[in-house]
Amino acid sequence: MTEPPASNTFGLFRWSALNPPADPTTSFAGKTVLITGANTGLGFEAALKFARLGASTLILGVRSLQRGETAQAEICKQTGYSEENIKLIALDMGEFSSIEAFVKELSTKTPQLDVVILNAGVAPVEYTLSAEGYEMTLQVNVISTAILAVLLLPLLRGTAVKTGSLPHLVIVGSTSHLNVTPEMLPLKEDDKLLDKVSSKSFFNANHQYAYSKLLVMYVMEGLLPLTRKPDGSPEVIVTTVCPGLCMSDLFRSFPFLTKIIWLVFMYFFSRTAEQGSRTIISGAALGADAHGQFWAHDRFFRYDIPSFNCARMISNYVTPQARSSSHQRPRQRSAKENMGRISRTHAG
């Protein structure tokens, strides 16, 4: 395979369309796999692959149970997978209460969680506020993804202890974050990053998705200290992956004419959702060296995120629920460690 072009523009899109990732063959036998946003697009294709690769249980987090049932039937039809081994749980990433209910129901449905794929995402062209008061791209792609990750850690850690193997927490990010420069996100001393990126005056549909995928890189960084053992080795492998530009329902909110032009563009510059999902699967099969890495195009991909104050960002997304005693210590430690990292970066 040739090397991908350095810049994240048309050259990389065309290269990635011509160079799809390898189709993984790793067995997931005995593994319980959770995928959010699994009813369509990349999440659905990933679910199909996990079923084919022998995962013992698939848990699909879906916004609509009806769409989830359709996906479940299709997975069983295409792979011969047993319907009993697919559990559907309602999950609306637009609402914190739904995330809490999801985690609660999940813990009653499985004592084991080997792989988590935090895939649900949106790319709306209009500014919309979630029920929680955040801009929707930020709400789903970043804040809810972060909270869900934190709330799933106890189950993942418990699985590590029980099975003696390393569970995976995979966040579906995007190389689009590489296009964000610090100049695009000017922050004054008193600015709160999330408030700024969530504000209507700041919203730009061309950039918001990339901002959300940049912020999710900080979410991964914030999760790293929470998922390391005292000796520094990971107890849960946390990795962000990018499937490359793929044909899916992500661009559903484009106006009709834009959609037509986009489809023509995608014909030449995108992968299929099936090809993109290969990166999700291979990302969930990596070893401990994948902890804190960005996996794209079958390699650990360069990423160099600007040094915003992620401590401030993390303290900003802490919900009252997550402030409860069981989460307080790790979060405070994470913020402190991130502050240390930032000062080191500035000093360097």
Ligand X SMILES: NC(=O)c1ccc[n+]([C@@H]2O[C@H](COP(=O)([O-])OP(=O)(O)OC[C@H]3O[C@@H](n4cnc5c(N)ncnc54)[C@H](OP(=O)(O)O)[C@@H]3O)[C@@H](O)[C@H]2O)c1
* Complex with ligand X: residue 174 or 282, whichever CB lies closer: 174
Part of the chain binding ligand X (CB under 6 A), chosen from 48-56, 118-126, 160-168, 179-187: 118-126
Decide if residue 78 touches ligand X (CB under 6 A): no
Part of the chain binding ligand X (CB under 6 A), chosen from 11-19, 38-46, 217-225, 308-316: 38-46
DSSP structural state of residue 39: S
Q: How far is the C-alpha of 33 from the C-alpha of 87, rounded, in Å?
A: 10
Phi, psi of 60 (to 5 degrees): -105, 115
Helix (H, G, I), strand (E, B) or coil at 300: strand
E strand segments, 219-281: 237-242
* Complex with ligand X: residue 174 or 239, whichever CB lies closer: 174
Catalytic residue among 49, 81, 87, 209: 209
Catalytic residue among 134, 213, 218, 317: 213
- According to CB under 6 A, which residues from 221 to 280 bind ligand X? 242-243, 245-246, 248-250
Candidate residues 47, 51, 86, 93; the one interacting with ligand X per rule CB under 6 A: 93
* Complex with ligand X: residue 143 or 194, whichever CB lies closer: 143
Decide if residue 21 touches ligand X (CB under 6 A): no
Token couple for 178: 């590489």
* Complex with ligand X: residue 57 or 141, whichever CB lies closer: 141
Total residues belonging to the chain: 348
Candidate residues 19, 40, 56, 79; the one interacting with ligand X per rule CB under 6 A: 40
Candidate residues 63, 291, 297, 327; the one interacting with ligand X per rule CB under 6 A: 63
Is 229 catalytic? The answer is no
Decide if residue 64 touches ligand X (CB under 6 A): yes
Give yes or no for a contact between 244 and 279, defined as CB atoms under 8 angstroms apart: yes
Chain mean position to CA 107? 21
Q: At what angle do helices 145-163 and 325-347 cross, to 10 degrees?
A: 110
* Complex with ligand X: residue 66 or 345, whichever CB lies closer: 66
Chain mean position to CA 106? 18
Give yes or no for a contact between 144 and 318, defined as CB atoms under 8 angstroms apart: no
Nearest to 50 by CA among 152, 157, 168: 168
Torsion of CA 332, 335, 340, 346, to 10 degrees: -160
Is 209 catalytic? The answer is yes
Binding string to ligand X for residues 133 to 172, with x set by CB under 6 A, is what?
-------x-------------------------------x
Give yes or no for a contact between 61 and 38, defined as CB atoms under 8 angstroms apart: yes
Helix (H, G, I), strand (E, B) or coil at 296: strand
Residue with tokens 């009709």: 256
Decide if residue 43 touches ligand X (CB under 6 A): yes
* Complex with ligand X: residue 93 or 180, whichever CB lies closer: 93
| Interface ranges with ligand X (CB under 6 A) | 37, 39-43, 63-64, 67, 91-94, 119-122, 140, 172, 174, 242-243, 245-246, 248-250
Catalytically active residues, by annotation = 209, 213
